[in-house]
């Protein structure tokens, strides 16, 4: 990791962890085995981000649509989440990682939700990497909920319609205290964002890799970060404007 320019690393990295099922299918294993192997990749990526000094890592762990999967698979995913929350406590403590979660958390089974909230409280004073798990998350439903909350504030006189700006509306989403992602990585070769952080990804750099999530490790992550560091982020401006801004 010595060739990475740490000053150019993303502040907020988001990852769509995709390909567990296909990895298992290729190896003639059950989809559950694929999810179990994917959990190993999650641990490696979290540890690497903490070592690199990345401030926020958001992982798309379970979407609203994932509830439609076979019941046995959903139950196993919830069990794996609970297992991770228990087993990772020492790791979170050792790397000063704070756990956060976004999504419709009330959808989670009671035991899973309670353990999640307990772990968030356990790590709330940690000052290193923020590990942000997107659980029962859907970008469209997040925006709709935000619109409803803003309408309620207008109706109760807490704000005026003119105060609903792109900047202020962000406060009604699941991520009011987090900057938008700088880089989104999606594994498995799929090139879409699948209802993930639709508002927050407006100017995010996208990186797609054909590597399936269970095979995504330290080297793949560093390769994606190197690619990100080589890009010029203009946010609607021209390259010459960026140069002029740096010269001032």
Catalytic residues: 18, 66
DSSP 30: -
Locate 82 and state its tokens.
Answer: 């609970």
CA distance 27 to 105: 33
User: Do residues 42 and 232 touch, judged by C-beta distance below 8 A?
Assistant: no
Query: What is the DSSP track for 48-71?
Result: HHHHHT-SEEEEEEEEGGGGGS-H
CA distance 136 to 67: 8
Phi, psi of 98 (to 5 degrees): -100, 130
CA distance 245 to 248: 5
Q: Residue 142, Cβ neighbours under 10 Å: how many?
A: 25
CA atoms within 13 A on the CB side of 137: 23
For residue 189, give every residue at least 6 positions away whose Cβ sits within 8 Å of its Cβ, in sequence order, or none.
19, 208, 209, 210
Q: Directed axis angle between helix 31-52 and helix 218-229, to 10°?
A: 50
CA atoms within 13 A on the CB side of 186: 13
Locate 226 and state its tokens.
Answer: 């190197």
């Amino acid at each position: 990791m010595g060739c990475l320019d740490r000053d150019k690393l993303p502040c907020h990295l988001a990852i769509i962890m995709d390909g567990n099922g296909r990895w298992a299918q290729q190896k003639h294993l059950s989809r559950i085995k694929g999810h179990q192997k994917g959990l190993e990749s999650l641990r490696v990526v979290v540890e690497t981000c903490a070592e690199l000094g990345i401030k926020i890592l958001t992982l798309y762990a379970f979407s609203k649509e994932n509830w439609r999967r076979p019941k046995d698979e959903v139950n196993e995913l919830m069990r794996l989440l609970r297992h991770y929350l228990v087993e990772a406590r020492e790791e979170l403590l050792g790397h000063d990682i704070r756990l956060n979660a976004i999504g419709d958390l009330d959808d989670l089974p009671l035991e899973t939700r309670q353990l999640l909230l307990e772990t968030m409280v356990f790590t709330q004073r940690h000052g290193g990497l923020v590990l942000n798990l997107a659980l029962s998350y859907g970008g469209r439903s997040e925006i709709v909920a935000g619109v409803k909350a803003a309408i309620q504030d207008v109706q109760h006189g807490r704000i005026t319609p003119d105060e609903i700006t792109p900047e202020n509306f962000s406060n009604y989403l699941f991520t009011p205290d987090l900057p938008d992602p700088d880089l989104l990585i999606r594994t498995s070769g799929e090139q879409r964002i699948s209802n993930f952080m639709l508002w927050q990804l407006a100017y995010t750099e996208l990186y797609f890799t054909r590597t399936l999530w269970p095979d995504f490790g330290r080297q793949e992550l560093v390769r994606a970060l190197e690619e990100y560091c080589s890009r010029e982020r203009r946010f609607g401006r021209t390259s010459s404007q960026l140069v002029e801004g740096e010269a001032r």
